[in-house]
Amino acid sequence: MPGVDKDLRSIQEARDLAGQAFAAWKQWASASQEQVDRVCAAMAEVAFAASTRLGIQAYEETGFGVPEHKRLKNEVASRNVWESIKDIKTVGIIGHNPEKKIYDIAWPMGVIAALTPSTNPTSTVMFKILVSVKARDAIVIAPHPSAAKCCFETTQIMAQAAEANGAPKGLISCMQNISLEGTQALMRHKYLALILATGGTPMVRAAHSTGKPAIGVGPGNVPAYVDRSADLVKAARYIVASKAFDCSTICATEQAVVADQPIARQLAALMQQEGAYFTDPHQTQLLRKLLFHPDGSMNIATVGKPAEYVAEMAGFEVPSGTRILVTRLEKTGKEEPLSREKLTTVLGWYEEEGWEAGCDRCIALIEFGGRGHSLIIHATDQKVIMAFGLEKPVFRIAVNTMGTLGAVGVTTGVLPSMTLGAGGVGGSITGDNISTQHLFNIKRLAYELSPPPDAAMVSGRPNAGLSAQEIEQVVRSVVEEILKTG
């Protein structure tokens, strides 16, 4: 549309794609389980095959992270996600309770608007398309502007595979003309059933403010507590590797180590052997000024960048091969910017005496910026592990593993997902790792188990000629019958 403003083109594209998706969904809603699984299997296969190419494209377009790590995330979001959902029934009767005479019947949501971040663009697109189509939903991707091309390419590859295997055209699409106005038009469209938003706090708030049902997940501020009972060699190796993974662009990446005092010095030495560089007070102050603006917002220029690059931006040198920068901190909250989530290769460091004090520090970090999200604990003392599991206001507690890969289900048994719920305390509708079962409704066919109470069959005529006392007695008997039958 030459001569038309970008925001108007974006709004019109959103309307067109939503309309096409709704028309396609009306066909797809009656697809059989075999048809659904054939389409999803084909999409997972082509996405997995393109993981390397799309990882490179995502890196080149956004400038974030590590191409090889993006390849791995793409493989997880295609193959691992599909393996985790392929046997889930999403069509027709999916459950039956003979004793209660209830049948559970799957019913798709409809058209989903999927907002995706620039930090994990292609992998999030793969994941959201698979879990949505498996649930018999249509999906329109609304990518972050700085990752629009790689997201569109990923969507096209999967849409073509879907259509070649029987899915209707328009079921899967991606916006190309990206603007705030266009994304809002999509989220508010009359045909839209659900918003699935993954990204920063402003995006998630926007999704929840539309009046449409929304599953919104935002930032984490993940602490890693290392207890005196931990395997320190393993903990050091995992923490450094996890923080360096894709330059800390996954929301479940460790943001601060909370080290038990007796093992703190040894843990620091082991982490240095793995490529961690502990900054001095002057360098730490330089990082405070570099990573965050005075209002607390993140300096986007530092996001997803290698440690040596970040150090150079801050104005100091580090040894070649440095993988992460570790800053010794004492405070938590607004007065300490580095206690915030840092989507780059900078890690906070706290030392506390005993697991109880470590627990308090972890809660302070979580409350400051990661309520409901995730926590990592390295320990072998089961009492300490369970205390953390029971007391922390988060919904993923990963034990003796990498935060990045553990929380998303690569190294643990939780559902593989690129969208991690933070529960009510974190402003989300659920604390689960989002998957296909969150994207369809269940209706229930319920047969009568017992006849209604006699009192319920009393004539509904006004007063029915009864006195006030008689009416009161009828009401009382109805209540008694209801209580008796449960």
- Can you tell me the mean pLDDT for 384-392? 92
pLDDT in the model for residue 486: 54
Q: Give the pLDDT confidence of 119-167 residue by residue, as tens digits.
A: 999 999 999 999 999 999 999 999 999 999 999 999 999 999 999 999 9
Tell me: do 207 and 236 sit in the same domain.
Answer: no
Residue 447 lies in a domain: no
> Across residues 196-211, what is the average pLDDT?
81
- Share above pLDDT 90 across residues of the chain, in percent, rounded to a whole number: 84
How many structural domains is the chain composed of? 3
Kindly state whether residues 316 and 206 are assigned to the same domain. no
d(CA 481, CA 454): 8
Phi-psi region of 465 (alpha: psi -120 to 50; beta: other; left: phi over 0): left
Same domain (yes/no): 331, 250 = yes
The pLDDT-based confidence of 461 (bands split at 50, 70, 90) is low
The pair phi, psi for residue 316, each rounded to 5°, is: -145, 165
Residue-wise over 340-349: b if at least 16 C-beta within 10 A, else e?
A: bbbbbbbbbb
At 369, the pLDDT band (50, 70, 90 cuts) reads confident
pLDDT tens string 424-458: 888 888 999 999 999 999 999 999 999 999 888 88
Asked if the structure places residue 423 within a domain, the reply is: no
Torsion angle of alpha carbons 285, 287, 292, 295, nearest 10°?
A: 0
Is the pLDDT at 174 greater than 90? The verdict is: yes
At residue 424, the pLDDT reads 87
With residue 443 as reference, give the H or E element that holds it: strand 440-446
Which CATH number fits the domain that encloses residue 387?
3.40.309.10
> What is residue 370's predicted lDDT score, i.e. its pLDDT?
84
The pLDDT confidence band at residue 466, using thresholds 50, 70 and 90, is low
2, 120, 147, 183, 429 from 177: Cα distances, Å: 13, 20, 12, 10, 30
Each residue of 209-241: b (16+ CB within 10 Å) or e?
ebeeebbbbbbbbbbbbbbbbbebeebbbbbbb
Q: Is 15 helix (H, G, I), strand (E, B) or coil?
A: helix
Q: Is residue 227 part of a domain?
A: yes
Q: Read off the pLDDT of residues 216-233 as tens digits, 9 standing for 90 and up.
A: 886 789 999 999 999 999
Contact 98, 180 (CB under 8 A): no
Please give the pLDDT value at position 460: 62
What pLDDT was estimated at residue 484? 67
Given the structure tokens 């004090």, which residue do they identify? 357
Q: Residue 462 pLDDT > 70, yes or no?
A: no
Same domain for 136 and 257, yes or no, is no
Q: Would residue 45 count as lying in a domain? A: yes
- The span from the CA of 48 to the CA of 241, in Å, is 24
pTM for the model stands at 0.91
Give the burial string for 21-39 (b: 16+ CB within 10 Å, else e).
bbbbbeebeebebebbbbb
pLDDT, tens digit, for every residue of 240-295? 999 999 999 999 999 999 999 999 999 999 999 999 999 999 999 999 999 999 99
Q: Does residue 419 lie within any of the structural domains?
A: no
Nearest to 113 by CA among 4, 25, 245, 233: 25
pLDDT at position 477 is: 77
pLDDT beyond 60 at 23: yes
Average of per-residue pLDDT values in the chain: 94
Task: Domain of residue 264: give its range.
Answer: 222-413
Q: Which of the residues are catalytic? A: 251
- What are the structure tokens assigned to 365, written together? 């970090």
Residues 209 and 255 reside in one and the same domain: no
Q: Say whether pLDDT at 2 is over 70.
A: no
Residue 1 lies in a domain: no
Task: Tokens for 283, please give them.
Answer: 């360098």
- Same domain membership, residue 11 and residue 142: yes
Element (H, E) at 442: strand 440-446
Q: Are residues 371 and 284 in the same domain?
A: yes
Other beta carbons within 10 angstroms of residue 72's beta carbon come to: 18
Clarify whether residues 317 and 379 are in a common domain: yes
CATH number, position 37: 3.40.605.10
Check whether residue 101 and residue 148 sit in a common domain: yes
Residue 237 lies in a domain: yes
User: Same structural domain for residues 277 and 321?
Assistant: yes
- In sequence order, the 6+-apart residues with CB closer than 8 A to the CB of 161 are 39, 42, 43, 45, 46
Same domain for 211 and 301?
Answer: no
Q: Is it the case that residue 59 has pLDDT exceeding 90?
A: yes
pLDDT tens across 304-363, in order?
A: 999 999 999 999 999 999 999 999 999 999 999 999 999 999 999 999 999 999 999 999
Whether 230 maps to a domain, the answer reads: yes
Same domain, 351 and 463: no
